[in-house]
Amino acid sequence: MTTKRPVYLDFNATTPVDKRVLATMLPYFSEDFGNAASTTHAFGQQASAAVSHARQQIASLINVSANEIIFTSGATESNNIALLGVAERYAHKGDHIITCVTEHKAVLDSAKRLEKLGKRVTYLPVDSFGRVDLDQLRQAITPQTILISIMAANNEIGTVAPLREIGLLAREHDIIFHTDAAQYAGHMPLDVQALNIDLLSISAHKLYGPKGIGALYVRRENPRVDVAPVIYGGGHEQGIRSGTLNVPAIVGFGVAAELCQAELEDEAERLRGYCQKIFRELSRNIEGVELNGHPTERLPHNLNISITGTRSSDFIALLGDVAISAGSACNTANPNPSHVLCALGFGSERALSSLRISVGRTTTLEEVEYAIGRIIEASQVLQLVPA
């Protein structure tokens, strides 16, 4: 079988819209085009019903009630609402937030904004695998702590957080627990109730849905959580996020969530096997291959490695027809070492040589084998070139 070129292995950056998702979306652009808020006629009622169905599909993916799903433009907006909204709503209770140094910039920059507004933020360090220490988390809690925000899985190195333990700790101290699950949802089992998560951010384009649509889960009972709005307008989405709903994208988001839930177990096993094969073959054929992130507690479709004596920018340029990345898609224009890799305690040399390889639903074994060969070829060239 001939491998289609180029080969896409950057699924942590974004995923292609599944053809089944696209087919469901298409009628809502030009045929069933009603405004979901205009329910005085059939067009709006049909749109509203489609939104309600999608809301239930997404809720089912994470085991919550449909009325706890708030639609946003993506995980970045969801993260902003979670941090800024909690800080405003619970200002009477406290002014302290705990997060982590390896969080996505949407969380870190929101935290920095809160610091400028007079809030106090603790940025927990991580170990060499990218995980927070639960004892350090416990010690960081004060009577003024109102929110803990720790991402479910890191977008660069794939390390999965001890969500259950963090959730129990937050509940024990009556603190709201938010997690950025953009990379996690749809790829690993996610039961919000079992994990005591109060706020959760999710993005459709990370799970084979369209770009520009996401959601924020907001717990409504046991305990009830409230967030102040960040965007004001017509009071849409329970007053938390005003704006005309993007019905086609929401419909696609719902189908994408349903498909992920149905296919998750088999997909995770297949993609984990691909990542293990890539790491095994590269380690056998290239000197100085090092795994970044936790060896077992990690996303099944993510592999982050460093190759001694190379620079990721040179590597990516040389590969050409194999699409991989140096880290977060949000930081590709930044020439500095990844803040995530540096937080693991590695030197800038290892951080600057990191490669993120992420496989997905459309990845084939032939593509994996081709990519392995191309990476080995590129390494042979680059490791001969003086640094």
Catalytic residue among 100, 260, 275, 330: 330
For the entire predicted model, the pTM comes to 0.95
Q: For residue 345, what are the CA distances in angstroms to 102, 137, 153, 198?
A: 12, 19, 19, 31
Residue type, 144: Q
DSSP state of 280: H
CA–CA separation, 365 and 112 (whole Å): 43
pLDDT in the model for residue 2: 57
Closest CA to 217 of 380, 36, 377, 78: 78
CA–CA separation, 356 and 323 (whole Å): 10
pLDDT in the model for residue 383: 72
**Is 19-258 the same fold as 7-16+264-382?**
no
Taking the CA atoms of 364, 367, 373 and 377 in sequence, report the sign of the dihedral they define: negative
Q: Where are the domains of the chain?
A: 7-16+264-382, 19-258
CATH code 3.40.50.2300 for 7-16+264-382: no
CA–CA separation, 167 and 154 (whole Å): 17
> Reduced to 3 states, what is the DSSP secondary structure of residue 159?
strand
pLDDT in the model for residue 234: 85
> Reduced to 3 states, what is the DSSP secondary structure of residue 194?
helix
pLDDT in the model for residue 329: 46
CA–CA separation, 119 and 114 (whole Å): 5
> How long, in residues, is the chain?
387
Residue at token pair 């040389």: 318
> Reduced to 3 states, what is the DSSP secondary structure of residue 262?
helix
CA–CA separation, 83 and 96 (whole Å): 11
Write out 165-193 in H/E/C secondary structure: HHHHHHHHCCCEEEEECCCCECCECCCHH
Residue type, 123: Y
The domain defined by 19-258 folds into Aspartate Aminotransferase; domain 2 (3.40.640)
Q: Are 122 and 141 in contact (CB under 8 A)?
A: no
DSSP state of 143: T
Residue 260 known to be catalytic = no
Closest CA to 190 of 157, 167, 223, 156: 167
pLDDT in the model for residue 44: 93
pLDDT one digit per residue (tens) for the chain, 387 residues: 456 679 999 999 999 999 999 999 999 999 999 999 898 999 999 999 999 999 999 999 999 999 999 999 999 999 999 999 999 999 999 999 999 999 999 999 999 999 999 999 999 999 999 999 999 999 999 999 999 999 999 999 999 999 999 999 999 999 999 999 999 999 999 999 999 999 999 999 999 999 999 999 999 999 999 999 998 988 899 999 999 999 999 999 999 999 999 999 999 999 999 999 999 999 999 999 999 999 999 999 999 999 988 999 999 999 989 999 986 544 445 567 889 999 999 888 899 999 999 999 999 999 999 999 999 999 999 876 554
